[in-house]
Amino acid sequence: MTTAITDAHRAVVAVWRIEQPRLITSLARMLRDVPLAEDLTQEALLAAIERWPSTGVPEKPGAWLMAAAKRKALDHLRRRRMLERKHLLIISDMEAEQGAVPDLDSDLDDDIGDEMLRLIFTACHPRLSHEARAALALRMVCGLTTSEIARAFLVPEATIAQRVVRAKRTLSESGLTYETPRRDELSERLSSVLEVIYLIFNEGYTAAHGDDWLRPQLCDEGLRLGRVLVALAPLEPEAHGLLALMELNASRTAARTDMAGEPILLLDQNRVLWDQHQIRRGMQALGQARALGGAGAFYAIQAAIAACHAQARTAGATDWSRIAGYYAELTGIVPSPIVALNRAVAIGMAGDPRAALAIVDGLADEPALKTYHLRPSVRGDLLQKLGRHAEAQAAFEEAAALATNRREQGLLRRRAAEAAAAVADHGRESKTIACASIENRERRRTGG
Partner 1 sequence: MRVMYIMKSTHEGLPTPGFIAAAHKLAEREIKAGRMLDNGGLMPLAMGKQVRLAGGNLSVIDGPFAEAKEVVGGYAIFELPGMEEAVAMATEFMQLHKEQMPGWEGVCEIRTFASPGP
Q: Footprint of partner 1 on this chain (CB under 8 A)?
A: 10-11, 13-15, 17-18, 21-22, 57, 59-62, 105, 108-109, 112-113, 116, 217, 220, 223-228, 231-232, 253-255, 257-259, 272-273, 275, 281
CB of 67 to partner 1, least distance (A): 17
Closer to partner 1 at the Cβ: 276 or 437? Answer: 276
285 contacts 243 by C-beta, under 8 angstroms: yes
CB of 145 to partner 1, least distance (A): 12
Closer to partner 1 at the Cβ: 155 or 255? Answer: 255
Closer to partner 1 at the Cβ: 58 or 337? Answer: 58
CB of 199 to partner 1, least distance (A): 17
The per-residue DSSP string of 254-316 comes to GGSB-TTS-B--GGGS-GGGS-HHHHHHHHHHHHHHHHTT-TTSHHHHHHHHHHHHHH-SSGG
CB of 3 to partner 1, least distance (A): 17
Residue 133: C-alpha distances to residues 123, 166, 222, 435 (Å): 6, 11, 13, 53
Closer to partner 1 at the Cβ: 224 or 354? Answer: 224
CB of 207 to partner 1, least distance (A): 16
Closer to partner 1 at the Cβ: 66 or 386? Answer: 66
CB of 217 to partner 1, least distance (A): 6
Closest of 42, 39, 95 to residue 71, by C-alpha: 95
Q: Which residues pair with 263 in a beta bridge?
A: 257
Q: Taking the chain, what is the end-to-end CA distance rounded to the nearest angstrom?
A: 67
Closer to partner 1 at the Cβ: 109 or 211? Answer: 109
CB of 283 to partner 1, least distance (A): 14
Closer to partner 1 at the Cβ: 259 or 265? Answer: 259
Closer to partner 1 at the Cβ: 58 or 351? Answer: 58
CB of 104 to partner 1, least distance (A): 9
Closer to partner 1 at the Cβ: 276 or 440? Answer: 276
Closest of 51, 72, 50, 65 to residue 18, by C-alpha: 65
CB of 86 to partner 1, least distance (A): 29
Closer to partner 1 at the Cβ: 218 or 403? Answer: 218
CB of 331 to partner 1, least distance (A): 32
